[in-house]
Amino acid sequence: MEEKNVDVAIIGSGSAGLYALGRVKAAGKSFVLINGGAQGTTCARVGCMPSKALIQLAEDFHRCGILGRYGVEGHKSLTLDGEEAMGHVHDLRDTFVDRVISNSTAHMGDDVFIEGYARFLEPNLLEVNETRIRAANIIIATGSRPIVPKPWMAFSERILTTDTLFELEELPESLAVVGLGVIGLEIGQSMARLGVEVTGFDQLETIGGLDDPAVAKTAIEIIGRDFPLHLGQTAEVTEEGDKLRVTAGEQSVLVDKVLASLGRRPNLDNLQIENAGIDLGVHTIPTYNTQTMQIGDSHVFLAGDVNAERPLLHEAGDEGRIAGHNACSDQIQAFQRKTPLAINFVDPNICNVGKRWSELDLEQTAIGEVNLAPVGRALIMGKNKGIIRVYADKTSGKLLGSEMICTKGENLAHLLAWCIEQELTVGDLLRMPFYHPVIEEALQAALYDLYAKVETKNSGPIVELKPLP
């Protein structure tokens, strides 16, 4: 059996693995990149990109409904060809996947890129196919896969996950979405807007991962206009003829397909990681340092969705860079992580930035908010539904975080994340320029509401302007 000796072995050629590879190459270290299963990253194949293609298609088609108020005749006769719609999503998905592969593994030789599933034989020894690889340091970036309850596997051909959803050639007539987190909401709303009869279920009393009660309440009201949401009860799925019955408490619906959006499971179970001398204890994920990505004091690093910490592409990229840097270094370096930023691309966007509601000390926190209903730009766009909530330290006025559901939320969330990263106060933000009429004026209004509740104020009689010296 062939045996290779390398400085770094990277298991997984997804986003985290590829970013780690960039650091390893730059350091001039010898390496192998190992990948089992499909190439092209979770984001490009089954995540961010095909879902956004579906969302954009659904939003554009749904937008036709507003044309009547502009005096456009004939808009009600517009129809959708589901097969062509899904074909468009497939084409874009394939373009994104091909682009990733062509820019990463397409031109790598067999000596450094090995397709197959790795397993640990010893702490520093891996086996892939008929090759053994001895590595000084190992980066595990094997990603994750959708969770499907075992009882549902009996009718798995009618159970969809993000791994199979974007392979559909045509739209189902009816769909139950079980799990109303980011994926469930995005796909559920999109399918509903494309004419599928959608019903949503979640055992929680909230949706989209929201924990600010005011934002969650508003989100349930808005998204519930697109498809019914049944919350607070565990859903059960059974066969009934050629359909599936989904039941939660007193709610029951008969559907063609069920989308299981119940979270994702780390791909660790086939690595035989116990042979690496790593103790999993009672956990399925090894204990690791989020600033170094190192597992304990070992030579093994964990990066990307496999650690289930922040399953987002930009976080996977940062974790890959950190793991790659430390796998090539004589000394382990800790890095400060960026301000948390999460965006749900439902319409309107659901976003959270910085500290979550559940992380706040409410006695020391001031909260500002604005309702989108009277915002001029939003009213013109026909998108004046939603709420923005911003949080700051009551004494210093330092911005802490935000949750919102509003149009252009993806843009406002970035602005707030940058401001939190720069440790700005509410007063600092109000001295920034705001144009008229723009959606950013809604954020400005929320900041004014917040500014009235913090103790630290700007100097000068006009708070929006800095006094000249």
What confidence category does residue 281 fall into, taking pLDDT thresholds of 50, 70 and 90?
low
Over residues 273-302, the mean pLDDT reads: 88
Strands 159-160 and 349-354 turn out to be unpaired
Dump pLDDT digits (tens) for 325-339: 999 999 999 999 999
Would you identify the CATH topology of the domain 2-40+104-146+265-327?
FAD/NAD(P)-binding domain (3.50.50)
Q: What is the pLDDT of residue 146?
A: 96
Residues 6+ away with beta carbon under 8 Å from 242: none
DSSP string, 359-426: GS-GGGEEEEEEESTT-HHHHHHT----EEEEEEETTT-BEEEEEEEETTHHHHHHHHHHHHHTT-BH
Dump pLDDT digits (tens) for 374-403: 999 999 999 999 999 999 999 999 999 999
Q: Quick check: do 2-40+104-146+265-327 and 341-451 share a fold?
A: no
Identify which has the larger pLDDT, 55 or 285: 55
Q: What is the pLDDT of residue 425?
A: 97
pLDDT tops 90 at residue 219:
yes
Q: What is the pLDDT of residue 282?
A: 61
pLDDT tops 90 at residue 126:
yes
Of 419, 420, 442, 421, residue with least CA distance to 432 = 419
Q: C-alpha 468: how far from its chain's center?
A: 44
Domain boundaries, the chain: 2-40+104-146+265-327, 150-262, 341-451
Q: What is the pLDDT of residue 50?
A: 95
Q: What is the CATH number of domain 341-451?
A: 3.30.390.30
Provide the percentage of residues in the chain whose pLDDT is more than 90: 91
Over residues 285-304, the mean pLDDT reads: 95
Would you identify the CATH topology of the domain 150-262?
FAD/NAD(P)-binding domain (3.50.50)
pLDDT tops 80 at residue 135:
yes
What confidence category does residue 228 fall into, taking pLDDT thresholds of 50, 70 and 90?
very high
Over residues 32-47, the mean pLDDT reads: 93
Between CA 437 and CA 435 the distance in angstroms is: 6
Which string of b and e fits 25-56 if b means at least 16 CB within 10 Å? eeeebebbbbbbeebbbbbbbbbbbbbbbbbe
Residue position matching structure tokens 């499909």:
38
pLDDT tops 90 at residue 461:
no
Over residues 429-441, the mean pLDDT reads: 96
Between CA 57 and CA 93 the distance in angstroms is: 13
Dump pLDDT digits (tens) for 352-370: 999 999 999 999 999 999 9
Over residues 271-297, the mean pLDDT reads: 87
What confidence category does residue 2 fall into, taking pLDDT thresholds of 50, 70 and 90?
confident
Over residues 168-180, the mean pLDDT reads: 97
Are 308 and 7 in contact by the 8 Å Cβ rule? The answer is: no
Q: What is the pLDDT of residue 468?
A: 85
- The pTM of this model reads 0.94
Round the average pLDDT of the chain to a whole number and report it: 95
What confidence category does residue 233 fall into, taking pLDDT thresholds of 50, 70 and 90?
very high
Residues 6+ away with beta carbon under 8 Å from 47: 41, 162, 313
Q: What is the pLDDT of residue 465?
A: 86
What confidence category does residue 174 fall into, taking pLDDT thresholds of 50, 70 and 90?
very high
Over residues 69-98, the mean pLDDT reads: 93
